[in-house]
Structure formats: C-alpha cells, structure tokens
Structure 1
Amino acid sequence: MAEFEPVLLTLPSLAPSLAVEVIPYGLTIHRVFVQADGRTHDIVIGPEDPRGHITQKYVNTIIGRYANRIPIGKHSIERNGVKAEVVAGLNEGSRVSLHGGPTGFDSLPWELLTPTSPPQLFTPAELAHLPPLSPPTSYAIFRLVSPDGDQGFPGELTTEVLVALVPPSEEERQYLEPGEQSAGAEWDLGSVVYVYRAKVDKGVTPVNLTQHWGFNLEASLKEGVDTLLVKNHNITMKADRIVARDADSLNTGKFINVSDATEHLHEGQKIGDKYPKMGYDDYYAFAPRTVAIPKRFPYAEFTPQLDMLKYILAPSGSQVSKGARPEPVIELASDKSGLKLLFETNQDGTMFYSNAWSDPAKGARKKIHGGSGIKDHGDGYIPGTAAFLEFHDVLGAFLDPANKNGNDTLLTSDEVYHNYVRCDVRFKKPSQ
C-alpha cells in the first residue's frame, strides 16, 4: 500500500551523509540515517516494518489535531470573538482525549504532493528555496484534509507539512572520506526541518501539532544494554518550568519551577543522573525568549511574495541564518557515538518522554538496533530507550482563560498556522 512505502530524502552529494525515510501513514519518520566515521546510525527507534506503526502507535508520527491530553466532553472555545464547540472523545482512561482523539492524524494516510497536486499553504516565494518537487529528493510536502466534526473538532482543517533536509553551509561543509575526521573537531552533517501549516475553512478550531519522534544516538552501536538506554546521553534544555499535571496527566493550570524540582533542571548532565523512578514524561516551558518567526499569521498576508522559509531553510552557520533564527532550545548528545542534535523551534515548549512505558515483550525493535525486527518476539525496546522530544504549545492552552486571544492554541479562518522545528545534526569523533 502506498501509505506504507517510505519516501527517501537524501543529501546525496555529501559525506558524511544524512537521510530520512518518511511514511505517508501518520506522516511518520521511519528512519533517520546518519553516516559518520565509517558507521551508519539510525537515530530514531521504532519497528522494522513500516506497517508496524499501526500497532506501535505514536512512534515518530505526527500528532493532531491536538497534541497531548485534554479532558473529554464538550468545551466552548472563542478567539477574537469567533466561537465554536469542541466535543473531545475518550481514548485513554476514563477522562482523557489523547493526541487528537481515537483516530488522530497519526493513524491516517497523508497525500504526498506532486506537480499535479501542488501545495496550497506554501507560496511560490517559499517553494523557490526548494528543488523541483518531482521526484522527491531532499524534501517532500504532505497534505491531510480533516473534515468538519472530525474527532469532535469544528471546521474543515487543511494541513500541509514540509519535511526537508538542509545541507551544511559552504563555510562548514567538509568533504573528508570516512575515518579521516580528527578527534575533537565537530562536523555539521546537515539538518532535518519540519514546517507545519494549517488553515480552517470557517470559524475557529484548536490546533496544536507536533512530531512524536524518539531519539537514541547509541542504539545502532549494538554494544549491549547500556547503548540501548538514553541515560548516558547528555541533555541541555532552556526551560524554566514544567506543567503541573493531575493523576490523569491533565494540565492543572499551574507550573512548577525547575529550580524547585532539580531532576528537571537539564544543564548538560546525563539524563540518568537524576532519573525519576518512573522516568521522564513532562512538558517543559521554555524560558522567556524573543522569536521573530510567528506561530500564526493573518491569511491576508498569504500572498505569492510571502517568504517565511528563507531563514528556516538556511544552512547553519550561513550568513543568511546568523541572527535571524532563535537559538537552539535543546541539545541532545552522546559521548559514545559522537552524535549531537540541536533543536530550535517557534513553539513554547516540549514534552520530554523517556519511553518509560515501553514493554520489551511487545512491538518490534529495529535490526540495526540489535532487535529481530519481529513483532512481539520478546526483544522489543526496554524502558528508557528513547528521548522523545515533542515540540508544541502548552497542554490544553485553550482551556485556560488567561490565554484568551493570545497563546491559546486556537486558529480562526482568517489565520494560517505556522509551526516549525529544526534539528541540526553534528558529529565529533569520540576520543579513543
């Protein structure tokens, strides 16, 4: 079936190289290949078979229409005087609508756009930064149309997502053969970029999209249990609060300062240094910062000349990108593999989940990570084997009156939703 046929994105002219496999089913990142120092890594966990994502839910898929958890039932919503109702359906426990409801964006086939079915939510000026659309090479654009009333959400929502690979800048590009990198030098291997656009046809609706991707920078080393865990990964997070949640993980409307809960103060130490008993599963709000790239913009500004991709798609270190994009908010690194990921976004925070509820008896572990690749074979991923970093706005923000007409995660028909996440991939040869 076409929705399970991976779309391969590559930077073929570069060595070391970066490649991504995207599955239209759930707009799923199936693999992120990094080749460095003569070794191939797949830095995201998941099943071997693309069809495995049907049962291994929320592994590297998109989440929508609404990320994370909201209470079930009817909710009145309003933005700038436009009113509607949401009827959230149950799909977790007895009180929770999770990740957009029983049939969310993660379990639907997305349309891969082609020249005969061009994007509607990206302008000619923005597309000019990309090579011709067919055949897909370093990027692809996908579309999903969610009908009015889908999972209880009002309005027909059209969503288009650009997934792109960005090469290193000319200044940083290195053409060394595998094995020639010297210890101590850090190499820019390129970037993975997501840009989410959405438009509702009428009224107002909640929108809070994210990628539920889970990283492990050591699993491909296949050197035993230690390399399956992310507890030895170093993490830096520019966040000053976490959301206080109730027993069903619903937002209580309050925050906890990370200075008062030091296991959530991530300043470059190893994830396992202060590892909670049940692992990490928390929403981190980034410290106050200035971000010039908006999360929504007036539809009246959506003209052929509009260009919000110029800076987002500029290579790291290039003159175009310097000073134009926000600083990275998260750094994830492994001393053992030498890989490092730097994340930037225009969203307000991130969920950090350490795969604490993973059951090795269920699901499948990729062969490149030392598994059999066979579903329910008993060698799946153990707890603590991934750092899921899911960039989106605050949980259930539209339910808090304090957010009215502000960062309320609501979208009206005269606006365009604009969410981006960029992951820069770096490598430094480990010292022997």
Structure 2
Amino acid sequence: MTLVPRPFGRLEDGTPVEAVDLTGEAIAVTLTTLGAGIASLRTPDRNGHFGETVLPFTSLEERAACPPYCGASIGRFANRIAGGSFELDGTRHQLPRNHGANCLHGGPDGFDTRVWTIADLGTDPIPFVVFALDSPDGDAGFPGRLRVEARYALTGPGELTVEYSATTDRPTVVNLTNHAYFNLSADAGVGIEAHRLQIEADAMLPVDDGLVPTGEIRPVAGTAFDFREPRTFTENLQDCDDPQVLGQRGFDHCFVLRGGTTEAPRTIVRVEDARSGRRLDLLTTEPGLQLYSGHLLAAPEHGAPPAVVGGPTGFCLEPQRFPDAPNQPDFPSARLDPGRTCRQVAIYRFSKLDSAPDGGAAESRQS
C-alpha cells in the first residue's frame, strides 16, 4: 500500500493544507500538515465497532471551530513561560504575552498555527509520516534556528507513537507535545467525568493565578490530584475545596512523573472507559504530564459548585518538560544546545477492557 497525501483545504492566504491517513490493526489516524496535528483517531470498542477517541475535525472550518490547539503539535515551548520572558546565558529573551502576562504554547503564532512540510512517509515496515518545520532564529523571540520533526507511526495493534526531535544552531529552550482532546466513549454527547485515570505521579506543580508553577513540588497524597490508584474525575472533584481546583473548575496542572526524564518510554497513565470498553495507556520519555480536564469545553451547570467539571467532552494528556522551566532553576532543564538533539516520545496504546460494567454485554453507540 502506498501512502499519498490528500488535499485538506486552504488557509485564508491560499496556503494548501494536506492530510495523511494511517491505517493499522485496530487503529486509524488522520493527520494534517496544519500544526502537524491529529484530525481523527479511531479505535474499536469492546464489540469491535470503531469510533472517534479524540475530538475530530474533517475540514479547516471544523478545526477553526474546535477548542484551541485541537490535536496540534505545540511549540516552541509548550505550556506557560512566566512574564513572557526568560534569561539564557546572560541574555533576556522577550516572548509574546498571549495568556495574560505570560507566554502560552509558544505564543499566538506557535507551531500549532504553522503548515509543516511532509518530509517522509511510507508503510515499510509500518505506516508512518514525518512532518518537518524550520523555525528561524528569533522566531517569537526564541533564540536559535530550530529544525523540528514530528514522526507519527503505527507501531503496533492499536498503537500510535509520536516522536518529536529538534536541533538548533544556538542555545535555546524547547518543549514539544501534542494537544489532542480525548474522549474514549466516542460519543460527543457523553462527558468524560466517568473516565477512570491512573497516573504514575507522587507530586504535582501548584500554580499561581496565571497558571504558572509557583516552584513548589507538592505531594498528591490526600488531595484531589491523587490518581496513584484508579479514580474518576468525578470522584476526585466531588466536594473538593482545594483552591488549585476551585479556580479552574477542574485540572490544568503538571504532574511530576516517577522516573523523571527517561531514554525509553515508560507507562505513566492508564485511562479506562467502562461504557465503551476502551483503555488507553500512555507511555513517554518526559518528566511531566499536563492534565487538562477540559473545563473550558462546557460551562458548569446552573447552581453547581465551581469545582465541578460541568460535563466537558474531552480532556488532554500532554507529556512534556515542566512549564516555566527556563525560569525555574530547580526544574529539569529544557535547554537545547548545538550538536545535541531534543527527543520527546509519546506512545498512545489503545486496547479493550475485558467486560462491561454490569458484567454483561455493553451497548455500543459507535458507528
């Protein structure tokens, strides 16, 4: 089988956008050159019926109507940088401030807004595509010319591996991730509150009012952030009076993963949806995981306490370096020097649960 990119539309300035469809055992993925992003990710439920496990889009118009950053590759620096600036080797670099006083996801013209080129694609030995982007020295205030590649590959049954790599000609900082919104129910009318999560993290990073880490590394034990044993969003948010949660009506925080940065990806999250019978294991090389519970996707119900998620239809799992790492000397470094390669890997492994929640056959609503 030969992989051939297909037209996906044109931007307002006429720039063409292409899509690539990867199909493997128990998984089908559509990727676009806009943002080197995931437009569709379909996997089977317990009855073998395929359904969307991310918030999808089938056109540029639909993508524009999606939540911000939907499915896209994020850079140069995922998450927030305090004050929109950082110092490197005695020089202060000013970035765009697009989230209050801070820089979020590389600024308003981050990598999610760029049309990447297709550097390589094929099916031998597995279906894969490589997107490439050149970011010039001074792009959005970041130093160094950055060459970035995003490689998507179907590396096993129900398995998508995303590998980011970057090189530079000057010292700089880099943090890359994917911003897909997941919903394992594959039903846009069903919220994610009953998804059961387990996160291999004993601590998290508290944030200030601008959602920038304060520098503290706080244990999760006894808090709403304790997902060391499988818990649902509802279980951890019910009756929660934690100011870290109240201000966001949910989670938008970085978890400190066990093992720190690793050479080989290890399992750091398991998500289960008993309704559909889907399970997602996320493996990564990264020290942090930003969990965003999608609170901006739906308003809280009338009269509901502010900690209630309020029925969001998607959540994000973003493996990455720590937010604001360039300004936090006690955090793992996000520095990249010439002659070195920044490599960040995430593996999304989908499988089926053994039984329905009532022990019988589960109803399937997927097409």
What TM-score bracket applies, with the shorter chain setting the length? 0.7 to 0.9
Equivalent residue letter for 1:88: L
Specify the alignment match of 2:227 in structure 1. Answer: 265
Contact 1:4 1:51 in 2 (8 A): no
Contact 2:76 2:105 in 1 (8 A): yes
Equivalent residue letter for 1:204: P
Specify the alignment match of 2:79 in structure 1. Answer: 68
Contact 1:84 1:154 in 2 (8 A): no
Is 1:232 the counterpart of 2:194? The answer is yes
For residues 411 and 24 of structure 1, the distance between their equivalents in structure 2, rounded to whole angstroms, comes to: 25
Specify the alignment match of 1:49 in structure 2. Answer: 59
Once the two structures are overlaid, the 10-residue window that deviates more, 269-278 or 208-217, is: 269-278
Specify the alignment match of 2:322 in structure 1. Answer: 394
Is 1:205 the counterpart of 2:157? The answer is no
Contact 2:82 2:327 in 1 (8 A): no
For residues 179 and 64 of structure 2, the distance between their equivalents in structure 1, rounded to whole angstroms, comes to: 14
Specify the alignment match of 2:365 in structure 1. Answer: none
Specify the alignment match of 2:44 in structure 1. Answer: 35
Equivalent residue letter for 1:249: L
For residues 145 and 331 of structure 1, the distance between their equivalents in structure 2, rounded to whole angstroms, comes to: 34
Specify the alignment match of 1:99 in structure 2. Answer: 105
Contact 1:290 1:326 in 2 (8 A): no
Query: CA offsets per residue over residues 158-214 of structure 1, 9 Å max, x none?
Result: 0011100122xxxxxxxxxxxxxxxxxxxxx4311001010012x211100000111
Contact 2:137 2:145 in 1 (8 A): yes
Equivalent residue letter for 1:165: L
Structure 1 residue 253: deviation in Å? 0.9
Structure 1 residue 241: deviation in Å? 1.1
Structure 1 residue 341: deviation in Å? 0.6
Contact 1:354 1:383 in 2 (8 A): no
Runs of 4+ aligned structure 1 residues displaced above 4 Å come to none
For residues 342 and 286 of structure 1, the distance between their equivalents in structure 2, rounded to whole angstroms, comes to: 15
Contact 1:279 1:384 in 2 (8 A): no
Task: Identify if the C-alpha distance between structure 1 residues 347 and 327 changes in structure 2 by more than 3 Å, giving closer, same or farther.
Answer: closer
Indicate the SS of the match to 2:99: coil
Structure 1 residue 55: deviation in Å? 5.0
Select the residue among 162, 172, 181 that pairs with 1:194.
162
Structure 1 residue 63: deviation in Å? 0.7
Specify the alignment match of 1:166 in structure 2. Answer: 155
In the alignment, structure 2 segments of 5+ residues that lack a partner are: 1-8, 11-15, 238-244, 300-309, 362-367
Task: Identify if the C-alpha distance between structure 1 residues 359 and 236 changes in structure 2 by more than 3 Å, giving closer, same or farther.
Answer: closer
Select the residue among 77, 86, 98 that pairs with 2:93.
86
Contact 2:260 2:286 in 1 (8 A): no
Indicate the SS of the match to 2:230: strand
Quick one: percent identity of the two aligned structures? Answer: 26
Query: CA offsets per residue over residues 347-386 of structure 1, 9 Å max, x none?
Result: 00111111101158xxxxxxxxxxxxxxxxxxxxx74221
Indicate the SS of the match to 1:253: coil
Structure 1 residue 260: deviation in Å? 4.2
Is 1:357 the counterpart of 2:285? The answer is no
Specify the alignment match of 2:115 in structure 1. Answer: 109
For residues 104 and 85 of structure 2, the distance between their equivalents in structure 1, rounded to whole angstroms, comes to: 15
Indicate the SS of the match to 2:256: strand
For residues 267 and 116 of structure 2, the distance between their equivalents in structure 1, rounded to whole angstroms, comes to: 29
Is 1:147 the counterpart of 2:133? The answer is no
Superposed CA RMSD in Å reads: 2.4
Specify the alignment match of 1:425 in structure 2. Answer: 350
For residues 106 and 200 of structure 2, the distance between their equivalents in structure 1, rounded to whole angstroms, comes to: 27
Equivalent residue letter for 2:167: K
Equivalent residue letter for 2:334: T
Specify the alignment match of 2:3 in structure 1. Answer: none
Task: Identify if the C-alpha distance between structure 1 residues 331 and 87 changes in structure 2 by more than 3 Å, giving closer, same or farther.
Answer: same
Equivalent residue letter for 2:52: D
Structure 1 residue 408: deviation in Å? 1.1
Select the residue among 244, 256, 263 that pairs with 2:206.
244
- Tell me the TM-score normalised to structure 2 length: 0.82
Specify the alignment match of 1:297 in structure 2. Answer: none
Is 1:5 the counterpart of 2:41? The answer is no
Is 1:415 the counterpart of 2:340? The answer is yes
Specify the alignment match of 1:286 in structure 2. Answer: 257
For residues 38 and 425 of structure 1, the distance between their equivalents in structure 2, rounded to whole angstroms, comes to: 13
Equivalent residue letter for 1:110: W
Task: Identify if the C-alpha distance between structure 1 residues 35 and 247 changes in structure 2 by more than 3 Å, giving closer, same or farther.
Answer: same
In the alignment, structure 1 segments of 5+ residues that lack a partner are: 116-126, 168-188, 294-324, 361-381
For residues 320 and 184 of structure 2, the distance between their equivalents in structure 1, rounded to whole angstroms, comes to: 23
Task: Identify if the C-alpha distance between structure 1 residues 242 and 148 changes in structure 2 by more than 3 Å, giving closer, same or farther.
Answer: same
For residues 290 and 393 of structure 1, the distance between their equivalents in structure 2, rounded to whole angstroms, comes to: 9
Structure 1 residue 266: deviation in Å? 4.3
